[in-house]
Structure 1
Amino acid sequence: MKYYIIAGEASGDLHGSNLIKALYQQDTKAEIRFWGGDLMQQAGGTLAKHYRDLAFMGFIEVVFNLKTILSNIKFCKKDIESFAPDALIFIDYPGFNMRIAQWAKTKGIPTHYYISPQIWAWKENRIKAIKRDFDQLYVILPFEKEFYEQKHHFPVHFVGHPLIDAIHSRQTLDKATFIAQNQLEDKPIIAVLPGSRKQEITKMLGLMLSVADIFKDYQFVIAGAPSQPKEFYQSFLQNKNVHFVANQTYDLLSHASAALVTSGTATLETALFKVPEVVCYKGSWASYQIAKRIITLKYISLVNLIMDAPVVTELIQNDCNTQKLTQELQKILEPAHREKLMQQYNELENKLGGLGASEKTAQLIVRSLNSERL
């Protein structure tokens, strides 16, 4: 059978790559075409569009790039029609994917949403479009099944979180090799994860590194995003206590004593690696003013949302400053705080459903397509 997958970000590329591997296991004759990144390309199939050409963040930024977005939508529809897939699989990226799904439904293409949009956070009225345009929904957070089925009477599959699979299957360099290969110092590491989008990194990284001179017993190591060249980070590497590694986030987290992380999937990845973290977010003034009037959640990090408690500190907008970053980083480096945090991280992992998200999703997709053919 033929599968067309659309992932628009680095996290989608990671989960898409594991889904592709699982689809090939379930369907040995699978033909796969996708929007994604390097990891999905390595897993197999044919790349139609790289996610680095799609990444726009914030309300204002999207408006300024509307022409490019509309052009991508037009190309995507034409490419899908040309490929004629048996199933169209969407991975997160709701602004784009939901528009394509609405069109695809009119063409009779089976639609599957893996890692559904976070309508429990904002734009809950999207539930009408989801019910109308998607045949199957695969959710990865434990509270999402209750949200969709009990509140909105829409059956979904809870498959567990694919990050557990990705982390469990990793091959990590030992610390000595990691330090030697990246010309790092022989002292404890504080990982800095500023995101994957250019606008996000530009906004956050300088602020996150403003504490580097205060913690001289540690080295700060930036996790370079696969979508950005090293040259982009060059201006942030003037401090001798700041280092850089490219495409080695999991190795970095494996050996980090603590981390500064922008909001998003990375907050959960860091917790699953059992690394104490401070979550940082600071958007443009206009985007933040709009967002805070729409989003009514108590927390911005996935860790706190899943646990429904302030497990990790979140420094948002004006609270995200050098003074508070220093205070919170000092706190999470204390052994007593770390021990308490590890207990909460273990509880978090138990809530996420264990291994096998990619395999479960692939099985369900292939099974639904086979049943449609009977």
Structure 2
Amino acid sequence: MKYYIIAGEASGDLHGSNLMKALRKKDQHAEFRFWGGDLMSAAGGTPVKHYRDLAFMGFLEVAKNIRTILNNIRFCKHDIRSYKPDVLILVDYPGFNLRIAKFAKTLGIKVVYYISPQLWAWKESRVEIIKKYVDEMLVILPFEEDFYKKHGVHSHFVGHPLLDAISNLENIDPKTFKKDNGLTDREIIALLPGSRKQEVEKMLELMLSVRPHFKDYQFVIAGAPSLPKEFYQKYVDDHVHFVSNKTYDLLRCSKAALVTSGTATLETALLNVPEVVCYRGSKISYAIAKRLVKNIKYISLVNLIMDREVVKELIQDDLNTPNLINELNQIISGEKRSVMLKDYELLREKLGGKGASDKAAEVIVNVIK
């Protein structure tokens, strides 16, 4: 069978690659053509575009790059028409993917959405598009199944694929990791500033502002695969280090982490690292988002899944040096750290165990049949 997959972000590349591996187990003749990243390329198949050329963050950046986005949509439609896949698999990335879903249905192609857009947070009206143009909705957060049921859409809760990715990791020795990556023996505070250039520049400056107050620790930046190593060099010195494409290993060797809001907040929790969640956008983008997002108390996946504050979220003006210092001190040692680690255990239980990629692959193969 021929599979066409569209993943527009780093997290989608990870989940898309694991889904491709699972599909190959169930379909030995599987052929893949995809929009994604290095992980999907390693899984095999034909890459069309890299997600680094697709990721535009915030309302202003989208507006500035609207011509590029529209050209990508036109190109994608032409490519799908030429390839004639048996199924189109969309991985999150709703602004782009929902338009492609509508197009694919006009060609009679089966459409599966894997990893739901966050419609429960904003643009709830898009559920009607999914109802019309998506054959199967595969959700990875436990509350999403009820959300779609409320709107008359059948969905499958397959569990969260991060549990699979993390459970397959080999054991790591912190001393060896530090030695191999030119780090000192001091304990690590990991910095995960995001994956987009403008986001990283803004977040790293804030995260590193706490450094004079934590002289007994070394700060290590987790480099995004979408950005070149040279980009990070201006932040590196004797007390600030950098590792590339080793985020999971870095987290497993870290005492605590400062993490930009996104999938990384959940990854950090599942790897059992106490964290502070950070977010600051442009004033205009934040004001627009605040008007559009309804009935959502939290921005981090950890808190959304648990429906209470497990990790501290520092947003906009609350994201400042004094608050970062205070919160980081509390999760390095003491009661707040212990409570957070216990809550992480409950979080893993809520996410439904391993096997998400296999369950998703089974549904997709059955859709084609």
Q: TM-score range by the shorter chain?
A: over 0.9
Q: Distance in 2 between matches of 1:223 and 1:335?
A: 26
Structure 1's consecutive aligned runs of 4 or more residues displaced over 6 angstroms after TM superposition are none
Is the 1:139–1:160 contact (alpha carbons within 8 Å) kept by the matching residues of 2? Answer: yes
Count of residue pairs the alignment pairs up:
368
2:275 alignment partner, one of 277, 285, 299: 277
Q: Which amino acid aligns with 2:298?
A: Y
Offset from partner CA, 1:191-228 (integer Å, 9 cap, x none)? 10001111211221111111112101111100000000
Question: Is the deviation greater in 310-319 or in 99-108?
Answer: 99-108
SS for the counterpart of 1:122 is coil
Are residue 144 (structure 1) and residue 144 (structure 2) matched? yes
- SS of 1:113's equivalent in the other structure is strand
In the alignment, which residue of structure 1 is the partner of 2:85? 85
Provide the residue aligned with 1:65 in structure 2.
Answer: 65
When normalised by structure 1's length, the TM-score is 0.97
Conservation of the 8 A alpha-carbon contact between 1:172 and 1:254: no
Deviation at 1:61, TM superposition (A): 0.5
- The answer as to whether partners of 2:299 and 2:313 remain within 8 angstroms in 1 is yes
Alignment partner of 1:6: what SS?
strand
SS of residue in 2 equivalent to 1:60? helix
1:1-374 alignment runs, 5 A limit: 1-149=1-149, 151-238=150-237, 240-296=238-294, 297-370=296-369
Does the 8 Å contact 1:33/1:48 carry over to 2? yes
One-letter amino acid of the structure 2 residue matched with residue 211 of structure 1: V
Q: CA offsets per residue over residues 147-187 of structure 1, 9 Å max, x none? A: 111x1011100000000001111235421221111100101
Shift of 1:27: 0.1
Mapped partners of 2:64, 2:198: distance in 1? 13
> Contact between 2:88 and 2:109, CA under 8 Å: does it hold in 1?
yes
Deviates more, 1:204-213 or 1:320-329: 204-213
User: What are the Cα deviations for residues 119-166 of structure 1, in whole angstroms up to 9, with x where unaligned?
Assistant: 0000001011110110000000000001111x1011100000000001
Which amino acid letter does the alignment assign opposite residue 7 of structure 2? A
Query: Which amino acid is 2:93 matched to?
Result: Y
Consecutive unaligned residues in structure 1, runs of 5 or more: none
SS at structure 1 position matched to 2:213: coil
Within 1, Cα distance between the matches of 2:28 and 2:162? 24
Q: When the two structures are superposed, what TM-score results if normalisation uses the length of structure 2?
A: 0.98
**AA in 2 matched with 1:181:** D
Identity %, equivalent residues: 64
1:213 partner letter: P
Equivalent residue of 1:97, what SS?
helix
Distance in 2 separating the partners of 1:283 and 1:144: 26
Secondary structure of the corresponding residue to residue 142 of structure 1: coil
**Aligned equivalents of 1:286 and 1:276: distance in 2?**
31
Letter in 2 for 1:349: R
Structure 1 range deviating more: 169-178 or 205-214: 169-178
Q: Deviations over 1:29-53 (max 9, x none)?
A: 0011100000011111111110011
Distance in 1 between residues matched to 2:106 and 2:235, nearest whole Å: 48
C-alpha distance in 2 between matches for 1:302 and 1:141: 9
Q: How many Å apart are 1:254 and its aligned residue?
A: 0.6
Give per-residue Cα distances to partners, 1:4-61, cap 9 Å, x unaligned: 0000000000000100000100100001110000001111111111001111000111
Aligned letter for 2:252? S
Amino acid at match of 1:47: P
CA drift at 1:357: 0.3
Q: Distance in 1 between matches of 2:193 and 2:293?
A: 22
